[in-house]
Amino acid sequence: MRKSFILAATALTLLSTGITSVAVNSTTTILASSKKYKSINKDLAKNLKEDQSYADQDPDNYGYSKYIEKVKYTGNSDINVYVNGGFKELSDSEKTKVLNQVQSLAKMVLVQNSKISSSEAGEGLILEAFNDKNSVAVSKISNHKAYRFTNN
């Protein structure tokens, strides 16, 4: 009983500092999601869905969204992007274009929600892309608009 109370108190304390995930041990993870991230993630989902509705009529501007299942803000200037299987069939240059368009969408939402500044947006976001649970792309540290792709 005391251990549960301590874990709950720790989770609440971490929530107030903006930490969203804490590993307690190898079998237990406390996940605490912040309301401010939920709001931003809702905005990201809304904007992505809107772009997907235009993908067939205007593939040059919105075609990227056909490969994206979800965009999730994880704090600071970090986003996770969940892609479908079609993404893996693209060339590296096409993948880069898709991910940079996702970055544009996310930067717009993050600047509007005052999570990043315009100058931070210019630097790009730290992005990791997943297909199922496998990482398929990570933005490079030296240039967040360039990516290292994996063969997963």
Instruction: Look at residue 25 and tell me whether its pLDDT is greater than 50.
Output: no
pLDDT average, residue stretch 124-139: 96
| Residues contacting 88, CB < 8 A, separation 6+ | 131, 136, 152
The model's confidence at residue 18, banded by pLDDT at 50, 70 and 90, is: low
Q: What is the pLDDT of residue 22?
A: 45
Concatenate the DSSP letters of all residues of 95-110 into one string. Answer: HHHHHHHHHHHHHHHH
Mean pLDDT score of the chain? 83
pLDDT tens string 39-97: 999 999 999 999 999 999 999 999 999 999 999 999 999 999 999 999 999 999 999 99
Beta strand segments in the chain, E:
21-23, 29-31, 68-75, 78-83, 126-131, 134-139, 147-149
Q: Are 147 and 140 spatial neighbours (Cβ–Cβ below 8 Å)?
A: yes
| Maximal CA-CA distance, the chain | 59
Could you say which DSSP state residue 142 is in? S
Q: Are 47 and 105 spatial neighbours (Cβ–Cβ below 8 Å)?
A: yes
Long-range contacts of 107-111, Cβ-Cβ distance < 8 Å, separation of 24 or more: 108/47, 109/40, 109/43, 109/44, 109/47, 109/73, 110/40, 110/73, 110/77
Could you say which DSSP state residue 132 is in? T
Whose tokens are 């301590």? That residue is 6
Q: How far is CA 58 from the centre of its chain?
A: 24
What residue type is 126 in one-letter code? I
Q: What is the pLDDT of residue 35?
A: 67
